[in-house]
Chains A and B, each alone.
Chain A
């Protein structure tokens, strides 16, 4: 949780430049179209967490999540969780077949990985090895950014229930089908179906215990990215709400003068700050044992789904009817959080991990 002065200075520079970039280039607008078309790809952020020898920026996880959080502030329609958070955990895989080359192409944006996990309410994805080939079968859960990915990191199990992690190039594999989905908050995602998709056995990056550990860490990274994104969204929602409370008058006074309103916002503030604290603790936990990391991630994700969402809901409540409109920012913050709450395990799933 404690950062050196040097790191904090780096953090400040990164946060300032990210915020400026998003506010100038990708500010949220009620039309749903973000102003400006500049992509964060231009900032060199994909793979920012990769080490410099792989072309990355060598940013630590805290800095990667900070970039994701800044994107959340403008409700960026692009997903940063894969390009920034997931790739921060891919360096250990660079010795695996073909991965070194692929990871080297991540920073330019020409290779984009997404993590593909099973649907939690259905049987897991199946991977069966037959000599030099392997086949994948099953249907994934919602995969953020599935449509723009060039490569899939597929989390599957073999017939014995052992974990399998495989890399699949989308273009090269037959039997991979992508269905596009519009999410509640306007972002896009996909569901992948694997119809006995055949891949070279060499693309199975890890099996058994090693795969289980890798999958757990990569899943936690994506989940952490989702939480960081919502911290940014909620912060921005707060600012908008407070501006509204100070200007909107009823009964001859600004809404901010009413104690009932103040106390609702104080409750929401407690939730928001606790969520931020849990996010900081979660980030630190990536340096510790896997079991504690898992719990720290689950605590933050469960808190997001319960208290974070409740805080966003209170913002709508105190703003009143205007926050029910498509034109108003605050309602979109709520949709962002509600959408995120359901991805990569909802609050109930993560509560179950905590005990």
Chain B
């Protein structure tokens, strides 16, 4: 949002400072790749992660004592906004968003010393072993087991939808350690090296034609005693804590704003059948206006939550809505893109010489975006949570 009145003078100066630094740091080829593809390679993400780390910004939401810059919620918001505006590539989320906060909150000192540096530098990549073929939305029904041995644990089972598993070094794995108690009370969190004997991985190709997710099979995988994070049978509590940790991150508000502005430019450069820019065609104009309104609503809701956090308070139940509205907005934008690019978005040259193009990138994004209302707790699960916690139904 361009509303300077929402930010203090110091915050505006902060925004300008980090924005210009980000633009200086970002290699042009990485910005180009960010615009033109949905899934980045490990090499590209690691390269950018190292550059960010050089500035101390690779884990921008971490507290200072663990290697983050220790920014306020509003400063993080502004950094994320400038980050998106610069077309900086997303870095792998699992290490920075999931594992890091889990370890510095619940992990042992030895675990923090061993694993946090690799996350900060981007030298070690993580994946998340939560979902299973029989445990999707009903995560607590998972069947992977971890059995205690004299030297550690033996893990058996199968994980599904393991994003970036094919190039991760380590997995944070939720497994059942007690099957005699209530489902949620018998789960524990483990650190599993992806090269451990007995671990096999096989690719799953998604409808966008890309390989970003995998199946992971764990067949008598042995891990040492200290692979357990925190206490035995507390895994569900830790996983839930994490879900609440960076709630506004789910909104993807900055990426949506950036993509929307780029799509607007494309619509200004594309002519309709009457030779006028699509952006001036009344039907398109109205759709852009509706999305402008929706983007503003999401921005306002995220800022409202951050304002509460800035005051040192826990935000109210309104935080539960950002996943639902943010994911839906991402889809609305890519749906509009499909109409802006029309036939150009659905066809590629048969000679295989398809140069990267806006249309192709939007098509890929549009297809992959079907997932955003499913992952991270499907929107139906979210609505049930809203009804229960926010409305008391």
Q: Which residues 343-393 of B have a CB within 8 angstroms of A?
A: 380, 382-384, 386-388, 390-393
Residues of chain B within 8 A of A270, CB atoms compared: 321, 324-325, 386
Q: Which residues 183-236 of B have a CB within 8 angstroms of A?
A: none
Proximity string of chain B (43-64) to chain A, C-beta cutoff 8 Å, 1 when within and 0 when not: 0000000000000000000000
- Among A274, A281, A299, A351, point to the contact of B321 (Cβ < 8 A): A274
Known: A299-B292, A351-B293, A354-B293. A277 touches B387 (CB 8 A): no
* B13 at the A interface (CB under 8 A): no
Q: Which residues 321-353 of B have a CB within 8 angstroms of A?
A: 321, 324-325
Contact A302 B293 (CB under 8 A): yes
Contact B384 A259 (CB under 8 A): yes
Whole-angstrom distance between the Cβ of A103 and the nearest chain B Cβ = 26
A352 to B321, CA, bound (A): 27
Whole-angstrom distance between the Cβ of B304 and the nearest chain A Cβ = 5
* A121 at the B interface (CB under 8 A): no
* A147 at the B interface (CB under 8 A): no
Contact B393 A274 (CB under 8 A): no
Q: Which residues 275-291 of A have a CB within 8 angstroms of B?
A: 275-278, 280-281, 284-285, 287-288
* A162 at the B interface (CB under 8 A): no
- Which candidate, A199-207, A213-221, A260-268, is the interface stretch facing chain B? A260-268
Contact A355 B285 (CB under 8 A): yes
The dominant DSSP class at the A interface is: helix
* B283 at the A interface (CB under 8 A): no
* A101 at the B interface (CB under 8 A): no
Known: A1-B307, A351-B289. A274 touches B5 (CB 8 A): no
Whole-angstrom distance between the Cβ of B262 and the nearest chain A Cβ = 16
Q: Which residues 248-282 of B have a CB within 8 angstroms of A?
A: 279
* B6 at the A interface (CB under 8 A): yes
* B32 at the A interface (CB under 8 A): no
- Among B5, B299, B388, point to the contact of A285 (Cβ < 8 A): B5
* B28 at the A interface (CB under 8 A): no
Contact A299 B297 (CB under 8 A): yes
Contact A269 B321 (CB under 8 A): yes
Proximity string of chain A (311-355) to chain B, C-beta cutoff 8 Å, 1 when within and 0 when not: 000000000000000000000000000000000000010011011
- Among B296, B380, B382, point to the contact of A299 (Cβ < 8 A): B296
Contact B289 A355 (CB under 8 A): yes
Q: Which residues 1-26 of B have a CB within 8 angstroms of A?
A: 1-6
Which residue of A has the minimal Cβ distance to B392? Answer: A242
Whole-angstrom distance between the Cβ of B326 and the nearest chain A Cβ = 10
Contact A269 B386 (CB under 8 A): yes
Residues of chain A within 8 A of B296, CB atoms compared: 278, 281, 295-296, 299
Whole-angstrom distance between the Cβ of A287 and the nearest chain B Cβ = 5
Which residue of A has the minimal Cβ distance to B285? Answer: A355
Most chain B beta-carbon neighbours within 10 Å: one of A285, A306, A351, A355: A355
Q: Which residues 88-123 of B have a CB within 8 angstroms of A?
A: none
Contacts A1-B6, A278-B296 known; 12 new A-B pairs at CB < 8 A:
A2-B311, A242-B391, A266-B386, A266-B387, A270-B324, A274-B325, A277-B301, A277-B304, A281-B1, A292-B3, A299-B296, A354-B292
- Listed in ascending order, the chain B residues whose CB lies under 8 Å from chain A are 1-6, 279, 285-286, 288-290, 292-293, 296-301, 303-304, 307, 310-311, 318, 321, 324-325, 380, 382-384, 386-388, 390-393
- Listed in ascending order, the chain A residues whose CB lies under 8 Å from chain B are 1-2, 238, 242, 245-246, 256, 259, 261-263, 265-267, 269-270, 273-278, 280-281, 284-285, 287-288, 292, 295-296, 299, 302-303, 306-307, 348, 351-352, 354-355
Q: List 16 A-B contacts (CB under 8 A).
A: A238-B391, A262-B384, A262-B391, A262-B393, A263-B383, A265-B387, A266-B390, A273-B321, A277-B297, A277-B300, A280-B304, A281-B303, A296-B296, A351-B289, A355-B285, A355-B292
CB-CB nearest 9 A-B residue pairs: A262-B387, A288-B5, A266-B383, A277-B300, A274-B297, A281-B300, A351-B289, A266-B386, A277-B301
